[in-house]
Amino acid sequence: MKCPFCGHCKDRVVDSRESGPGDSIRRRRECLACGRRFTSYERIEEIPYMVIKKDGRREPFDRQKLMSGLQLACQKRAVPVKALVQIVDNVERAVQDNPDREVEAGAIGKMVMDSLKDLDKVAYVRFASVYREFEDVQEFMNELRGLLGSRK
């Protein structure tokens, strides 16, 4: 790092600490030529959280898209919007907590379906059918049968 006082390019780091929770790292540096000290800040590059599609393609996690899908599945059902926001929040947290910064679309679908199952059975079936795009018909039918069978 170039010294702001003399322009020399070599320095040593005398101290470094995080200035916020995962926000930026502050380093105190000492110029090897003039001996004066200056501060540099290092920021982590904003990388979008990615969703891995079935064919391996990645696309950025889109909160709004997930919310739209949920609203569609819950159309004309007695499901409060607050409950849907909660589901989206949970999914987003799970994506962000993943150290690889990416999560398989199937895992997201499973999380959503697990939440919807408790919330509204019709919404659950709708979401499941849309989400799986019938690539997984057998599993879908099994779930559907299990659902109908367990209905009181």
Q: Rounded to 5 degrees, what are φ and ψ at 103?
A: -140, 145
Rounded to a whole number of angstroms, the minimum distance from the CB of residue 30 to Zn ion is 9
Q: Rounded to 5 degrees, what are φ and ψ at 52?
A: -90, 120
Of 9, 13, 14, 34, the residue at the interface with Zn ion (CB under 5 A) is 34
- Tell which positions 3-32 bind Zn ion, by CB under 5 A: 3, 5-6, 8, 31
Of 13, 33, 130, 141, the residue at the interface with Zn ion (CB under 5 A) is 33
**Residue 14 vs 130, nearer CB to Zn ion:** 14
**Residue 37 vs 117, nearer CB to Zn ion:** 37
DSSP state letters, 29-41: EEETTT--EEEEE
SS3 20: coil
CB atoms within 10 A of CB 14: 10
CA 3 to chain centre: 39
**Residue 5 vs 137, nearer CB to Zn ion:** 5
Chain residues in the site for Zn ion (CB under 5 A) = 3, 5-6, 8, 31, 33-34
